[in-house]
Structure 1
Amino acid sequence: MAESLVSPEGVSTQHHSNSEEQSEADGSSPPLEPNSLSAAQREVLERCLHALTHAKNDSHILAALLLITRLCPASQLDRVTLHRVFEAVGFNLPARLLVTAVRGGESSGLPPEELLSLGTALLAALSTDPDMATHPQLLSTIPLLLGLLESGIPVSQKQAQHTTVSQSTCSDSSPNTNACSTQTDQSTPGEEEPKGSSGLGREDEPAVCKLDEALAADCYQVLTTVCSLSRGPDQLLARGTIPALCRAVLKKQTLSHEKGLLLLGNLLSSSIRQRAWSKHPSELLSLLASISQNFSQAPEKDRLEMCSWIPQFLPPPESELQSQELQGVVCSLWATLCPMVQGKLGIDQLGNVLVLSACLLDLSGWEPAGSPKFCCLLVNRACVEVRMVLEEPPGTQLSAQQQHTLTACYRIMEAAMEQACCGGTNPSPAQSETAIAGLSLQQSRQVLGALEEAYSAVIYYLQQMDPSHYDEPFLFATFRSLCAWLAEETSCLKEEVSALLPFLIGYAKHHLQERKGKGLSEWMSTMSVSDCSQAGTWTGENVLRYLLPALCHLSAEDGPRKVLLSLDTPAMLVHFLSRGWGVLRTQSGKTVNRDPGLETACSALLNFTVTEPDRVRTDACFASLEAMLSEALPVLLHKSRLLVLAANCCTLGLMIGRLKPAFTGPVESSQRRFFSCALRFLLGALQAGDAGGQARLSPLWEPCWEEVNELWRLGLQALAGCVNAQPSITTLVREEGWLQSILSLLESSSGLPDPHSQQALEEALCGIARQCPFCRQDISESMKRGGRGSLHGMAQLRNVLKD
C-alpha cells in the first residue's frame, strides 16, 4: 500500500483552505447546484472527472483530485458530482492515506501531515452527502480521525529531531501552519484505550505534532456530519468518540474547544446521554470538572454565555453517578452561580442562569446550593419570572427562549414544593415547618406565598388554552407543573382550581384518546434521553398520571367533586384502570412491576364511592368497574409485588358491594368468587403471635403496612356493610373458614397490632353476628372459651350477642 503512494512529480500536495472550505467544515454551507459553476469550470470539471475515472495509479488519482479541489471546493459540488468522485475514488484511498501517515514509512515519499491533509480533505468532502456519511468504510475511519484529534500527528524520530531544531521558527508561524510543536501523549496512567482506538503508537510514546486548523476542521466535519444522522450518535459512541474528545479537550488540542466541545454537547444532548455517562463516567466527570474550573475563572460576560451550554455536560439526574468528585463539581458550579443569581441581569441572561440552576437542582437537590437565604431568593426569582411572562394579555405568543426559561422555573418551583409544602389535606400556616435546608418558618411562608402567586399566573395562562394548543410541548410542561403543585397544596386557590377543572379533564381525555405517534407523544419520543425515562415509553396515559394525585385530593372535597362528576371523571378513571389492568395481567414473576398510577386511580374512585352512593348505583361505569375488580382480585392474590393494588381493589369492590340492593337468592358466581378472594385477602394480614402474645403482621404485609393499613380497616368495615346489604354472604364467611380463622386468631392473641385494627375487625364481626344466627352462635361459643384473649375485650360485640 505504501509503495503505491509515491509523490506525483510536479503536483503540489499542500492542503488548500479557503472560506468555502471553512464554511463546509462548519457545516453551515450546503452543496451548491451545478449551475453555480461557469461553463469553463464545468468543462474543466468534466475533464478532471474523466481523468479521475481512468487514472492508472494513486499518483494520477491524487493529481486529478487536487485539480478538482482547486477548481471548485466540495461545498460547490452537487450530490451527483460527489457520487461520481466517490465511484472513481471510493473510501479506500483516503483510508490508505490515513493509515500510511499513521504508521509512517519513508517509502511513501510524502510527510505524514500531507498524507493526512489529503485523506481528511477527501473524507470531509465525501461526508457532505448523507448517504456517503453512513457508508461502513467512512465509519471505519472514525477511530483514526479521533486518534488524530486526541493525540496529533505521529512523527518519526528523524522528523521529531527536525521539528525540535525548527521549533523556534515554527513558534512565529501562522496558526494554520503545520508542525508547530511536538508533544507526548499525556493521558492518565492506567486509562483504558477506547474501543476502536486508532492505535497511534501509544506503547512507544512517539513524538507527535499538533494538527493544523484546516486538518482538524476536516476531521470534525466528518464527525459532525455523522452525529447529525439518525443513528449517528450511536455510531460515534460505539467507536470511542466520547473519551477521545474528552481527552482532546483536556489536552487543549487544535479546535478542541471550538468544535470538540460543541460536538460533545450535541452527543450528550441526544439519545445516548444515559449510555455515554454509564460507559465513560470518569472521562466525562474529568471534563465536567475542567469546565467548572473554567467557569469559575472566566470573566463575567463569558460566564453568562457558558450558562447556556454547561447543562449539556451534566450527568442525567436518574444516573447512579453520585461520587464525591461529582458533588465537589456541583458545589463549585453553585459557588460561581450564586453571585449571578443575586446580581442584576437582563431577561435573556437570567434565563440561562435559571436553566443551569434548575439542572443542578435536578442533579443534587438543595443541599449544595448554598444558604437558606440564597435558596429562597432563587425560588422567588423563578416565581417572579413565571408571573412576568404568563400574566401577559391573552393571545401573547411566547418565544422559544421564554418557554425554555419558564420550563426551568417550573422545575425550581417543584423542587421548592417538595421541601416547603406541608403534607396533609388542609395544612395551616403554623404547620408549614418543613422547609428548604434550614429555612425559618417565616421564610417558608414567603416561599409558599411566592409559589401561590406564580401558580395563580399558571392557572390564568391555562384558562386561555383551547384544544388547538393541546399538543404543544410547553403546554404539557405547564400542565405538569400545576399538577405537581396541586398534589402538594390543596388549600390555596380553590375557586380558581375548580374553574380550571374542565380544562384539566379535557386535556387528560384528549391525550388518553390520542393515537400512538401523533401530537405530544411524537415529540416526547424524540426527546427521550434514557431507556428508563417515561418519555422513552410515552403514551397518552402519562398526562393523566400527572393529574391523578390532584384528582385524589379534589375528589374528597364537595365543590371540586361536583365539578368532576359533571365532567364524567369516574368513567375516565375506570377506563384508565381497565387499560392498566390489561397490561398487568399479562405480567408474571419478576416481570411484574408496581404501577402507582393505578393505585391512585383506585383511591380517587374510592372517594367517589364513599361520598356519592347514588351516582355509584346509577352510573354504568361503576358496574364495569365492579366486573373488572371481580376479575382482577383473584389474580392479584398471587402477585405479591402488587399487594398495595390488591388492597385497593379489594376495598373498592367491597365498598361498591355494600351499596347493592338486598336480595335473598344465592350469590352470583362472579360475586361469590370476588367475596371469597376478598375474605382470603383480609385474613392474610395478621397471624398469631408467640405463646399467646400480641398478634403480628404477616411477613408479606409488614413492608407495606403503612400504605395499606387504612385500606385494610376500611375493607373490614365495608365487609360489614356488604353483609347488611346481602345477608347471604354470611354463608361464604362460614364456608370459607374465614370466621373460624379470625376467631382462633383472636382467642390465641392478647391483642392486635393497634387499637384501630381491633375496632375495624370488631365492626365486621358485629355485622356478621347481626345477620347470621349460625355465625352468632360460633362467635358466642368462641367468646366463652376465649379467656383473656383480644376477643374477650370486644365490648361492642358482647352487646350485640346479648340482643
Structure 2
Amino acid sequence: MIETFGVEWALLDNDKPKQFLLLLIHLCSVEVRMQLEEKSVDAVMKNADLVLSCFTTLELAVTYIGTDVLELDQKEKQQLYTALKGAFSAILTTLKKFLIKSVKADNKSVSIDEKHFTLAIIRVLAAWLAQETNAMRSTVIEVLPFILCVANDSFYAYRTWYVQNKSPKSDEAGNDENQKPTDILKALLPALCHFTVEEKAREIMLQAKEEDVLVECFSFHWSIVNYKPPPPPKSERLKMTKRTEPELPPGMAEAMKDSRAALVSMCNIFMNIIVLEPKLVENSDPFYSLLKFILNNLTDLKRSEENLVLHANMAVLGLLLLKHQAKKVKKNDFSICRYIQCTIRFLWDAFNVDESNDAEVLVVSMEYKKYWMDLMELWFLGMQTISVVLTHIPWISEFIMETGWAQGMVETLRKVRVGTLPPNTRHAYEDFLLHLAKTNSDVVPVLKKLDILTVCRNHLFMELGKFLFGD
C-alpha cells in the first residue's frame, strides 16, 4: 500500500497521524532483524519476498522522514533512530555475507535471485546513508568497493536497456517493463555526496575510478533531462497552425524529474572532489571531459522553473572546473563565451531592486525566491569562483564587460540605500568588481563613469575604492 499510495497513506488518521507510520517502521525494523541476523545467505533467501517488502517500506519511510515534513518530538526521534539503526546494522552485516559469497564463488554460483536481493540491499542502504552518514561507518567503508561495483554494473545495465527500449528512436524494440534493470547508482548518488567529503571514502571512490563512471552517468541523465521529441512527419507539420509544446511520451516527465535530481547530486559530488582534491582535478581527463561537456551543453538547457537549480549547479561546477583547468582553455574556444553568458545570467538575475517593496533595498528575485535555500550557497560560490577565474583567464573580462553585467551591477548598487546591503552580499559584489578591475585596466574608466565612487562610499567598498582612487 505504501509503495502504491506513498507514505502519506500511513498518515491518514486525523487523531494520531504519526502513530501508524511509526509503528509500521518499528515492525519492519524488527522483522528485518529477525530475518537477517545470524542467518546464512541461503536462509535469508528463503523469506526474500517478506524481507524485500520490509526494505521497500523502510526505504520510502526513511526518504520521507528525511524531507523533515513529519514533525517528531525528541523521544520519537530517538526511538525511531534506534529501531532503524538496528535494522540497517543487520542489513549491512547481511551485505557483507553476500559480498563474501560473491568473492568466494567468483560470481559463478550466485543466483539471479541473490543478485536481485543484493541490489535491493544496496538500494535500501542508499536511502539510509543519504540521511545518516555516521552510523556504522567502518562497516560501510569496508563494503563500499563492493557497493560501487554493483551500483556501476547496474547503471550500465540500465543504460543499455534504456537505449534499447526507451529511446524515441527505438520504439520498435519493444518495452518490457518486467525486464527493466534497477539503476542502483542513481539511488546511491545522494549518499556518494556525503562520501566524497570523507577522506577514506573519497579515496576508495577515486581508486575505483568512480569519476569516470559518473561522467558517463552525467551524460546519460543529461540526455533524458534535455530530451527533445522527434520532429513530426511533414504531413503533420502542415496541419500545425500554431506552435505547441510536443507531448512527452508516457513516463518521460517523471524520468526527467528523476534525472534532474541525479544531475544535481552528481554536480555536488564533482564539486566536493574539486574542492578537496584540486591537484587530481588539474590533470584529470574525466574532469576535462566534464568541463567540455558543460561548456558545450549548458546553453541548451531549457530556461524554466524546474531547471533553475540544475542550471545553477552546472554553471558553478563549470566555473570550478575552469578555475582548475584554466591552462587547457583556448582563447578561440567560443563555447566558453556562450557558457560564461549562461552563467552570468544565473548570477545576474539573483538580485534586483525592482521587485522590492522598497525600491532602495536589494532583494532576491521572485524567480529565485522559491528555490533560494538551494541556490544561495551556489550564488556566493559562483561569485567567488568567477572572480578567481578572471585571474586565470583574463580575456573573459572583455566578454563580461560586453554583456553589461558589471555596468548593471554598479547601477543597481547605486540605487541601494546605505546600510541595507547584507555583509556577505556586499563582499561578493566588491570582490568581483575588484578582480574585474585588476584583470582589465579598461574596466576602470567605465566604472568611474558609472559613479562607482558613490557605490564605494555608500556600501563601504574599501578595497575597491583604494584600488580605483588610491588612499
Question: TM-score of the superposition, structure 2-length normalised?
Answer: 0.78
CA 1:769/1:315 → structure 2, altered by over 3 Å: closer, same or farther?
Answer: closer
The counterpart of 1:764, out of the listed 432, 435, 455, is: 432
Asked if the contact 2:11–2:21 (Cα under 8 Å) also holds between the matched residues in 1, the reply is no
The counterpart of 1:383, out of the listed 8, 22, 29, is: 29
CA displacement at 1:372 relative to structure 2: 6.7
Partner of 1:652, secondary structure, is: helix
Aligned residue-pair number: 422
Corresponding residue number in structure 2 for 1:679: 344
CA displacement at 1:506 relative to structure 2: 0.8
Larger RCO of the pair (alpha carbons < 8 Å, separation 6+): 2
1:559 aligned to 2:200?
A: yes
CA 1:615/1:470 → structure 2, altered by over 3 Å: closer, same or farther?
Answer: farther
Corresponding residue number in structure 1 for 2:372: 705
- Amino acid aligned to 1:391: E
Deviations 1:153-174 (A, max 9, x none): xxxxxxxxxxxxxxxxxxxxxx
Corresponding residue number in structure 2 for 1:576: 217
Asked if the contact 1:658–1:724 (Cα under 8 Å) also holds between the matched residues in 2, the reply is no
CA displacement at 1:797 relative to structure 2: 2.9
- Amino acid aligned to 2:443: C
- Amino acid aligned to 1:713: F
Deviations 1:630-661 (A, max 9, x none): 12221126455312111111000001111124
Quick check: 480-489 or 691-700, which moved more?
691-700
Deviations 1:269-317 (A, max 9, x none): xxxxxxxxxxxxxxxxxxxxxxxxxxxxxxxxxxxxxxxxxx6xx9931
The counterpart of 1:484, out of the listed 127, 134, 142, is: 127
Corresponding residue number in structure 1 for 2:184: 543
The counterpart of 1:463, out of the listed 87, 96, 106, is: 96
Structure 1 Cα separation of the partners of residues 133 and 406 of structure 2: 41
Partner of 1:556, secondary structure, is: coil
CA displacement at 1:676 relative to structure 2: 2.7
Deviations 1:712-731 (A, max 9, x none): 22111110111111112111
Corresponding residue number in structure 1 for 2:395: 728
CA 1:798/1:647 → structure 2, altered by over 3 Å: closer, same or farther?
Answer: same
Corresponding residue number in structure 2 for 1:649: 314
Asked if the contact 1:654–1:718 (Cα under 8 Å) also holds between the matched residues in 2, the reply is yes
Corresponding residue number in structure 2 for 1:267: none
Quick check: 449-458 or 759-768, which moved more?
759-768
Structure 1 Cα separation of the partners of residues 263 and 426 of structure 2: 29
CA 1:744/1:635 → structure 2, altered by over 3 Å: closer, same or farther?
Answer: same
The counterpart of 1:596, out of the listed 232, 237, 261, is: 261
The counterpart of 1:475, out of the listed 118, 124, 134, is: 118
1:793 aligned to 2:439?
A: no
CA 1:613/1:367 → structure 2, altered by over 3 Å: closer, same or farther?
Answer: farther
Deviations 1:715-771 (A, max 9, x none): 111101111111121111212222112111211223777543333233222222222
Structure 2 Cα separation of the partners of residues 569 and 369 of structure 1: 48
- Amino acid aligned to 1:769: A
The counterpart of 2:82, out of the listed 426, 430, 449, is: 449
Corresponding residue number in structure 1 for 2:232: none
CA 1:762/1:542 → structure 2, altered by over 3 Å: closer, same or farther?
Answer: farther
- Amino acid aligned to 2:213: M
Structure 2 Cα separation of the partners of residues 538 and 798 of structure 1: 66
- Amino acid aligned to 1:786: T
CA 1:752/1:621 → structure 2, altered by over 3 Å: closer, same or farther?
Answer: farther
CA 1:558/1:510 → structure 2, altered by over 3 Å: closer, same or farther?
Answer: same
Of structures 1 and 2, the larger Rg is shown by 1
- Amino acid aligned to 1:676: Q
1:660 aligned to 2:307?
A: no
Corresponding residue number in structure 1 for 2:441: 773
CA displacement at 1:507 relative to structure 2: 1.1
CA displacement at 1:575 relative to structure 2: 0.6
Corresponding residue number in structure 2 for 1:719: 386
Corresponding residue number in structure 2 for 1:317: 5
Structure 1 Cα separation of the partners of residues 44 and 455 of structure 2: 75
CA displacement at 1:609 relative to structure 2: 1.4
Corresponding residue number in structure 2 for 1:403: 48
The counterpart of 1:739, out of the listed 376, 386, 406, is: 406
Asked if the contact 1:369–1:375 (Cα under 8 Å) also holds between the matched residues in 2, the reply is no
CA 1:725/1:315 → structure 2, altered by over 3 Å: closer, same or farther?
Answer: closer
Q: Is there any run of 5+ residues in structure 2 with no aligned partner, and where?
A: 166-175, 230-244
CA displacement at 1:373 relative to structure 2: 7.3
Asked if the contact 1:382–1:409 (Cα under 8 Å) also holds between the matched residues in 2, the reply is yes
Partner of 1:773, secondary structure, is: coil
Structure 1 Cα separation of the partners of residues 464 and 193 of structure 2: 34
Percent identity over the alignment? 25
CA 1:371/1:598 → structure 2, altered by over 3 Å: closer, same or farther?
Answer: closer
- Amino acid aligned to 2:215: V
- Amino acid aligned to 1:388: M
RMSD, matched Cα: 3.6
Structure 2 Cα separation of the partners of residues 787 and 497 of structure 1: 53
Asked if the contact 1:664–1:728 (Cα under 8 Å) also holds between the matched residues in 2, the reply is no
Corresponding residue number in structure 1 for 2:146: 503
- Amino acid aligned to 1:543: I
Alignment of 1:236-385 (within 5 A): 316-317=4-5, 363-365=9-11, 367=13, 378-385=24-31
Structure 1 Cα separation of the partners of residues 35 and 350 of structure 2: 53
CA 1:542/1:783 → structure 2, altered by over 3 Å: closer, same or farther?
Answer: farther
Asked if the contact 2:323–2:385 (Cα under 8 Å) also holds between the matched residues in 1, the reply is yes
- Amino acid aligned to 1:475: T
Asked if the contact 2:159–2:220 (Cα under 8 Å) also holds between the matched residues in 1, the reply is no
- Amino acid aligned to 1:405: L
Question: TM-score of the superposition, structure 1-length normalised?
Answer: 0.47
Asked if the contact 1:541–1:576 (Cα under 8 Å) also holds between the matched residues in 2, the reply is no
Asked if the contact 1:599–1:645 (Cα under 8 Å) also holds between the matched residues in 2, the reply is yes
Structure 2 Cα separation of the partners of residues 456 and 637 of structure 1: 43
CA 1:476/1:774 → structure 2, altered by over 3 Å: closer, same or farther?
Answer: same
Asked if the contact 1:647–1:711 (Cα under 8 Å) also holds between the matched residues in 2, the reply is yes
Richer in helix (by share): 2
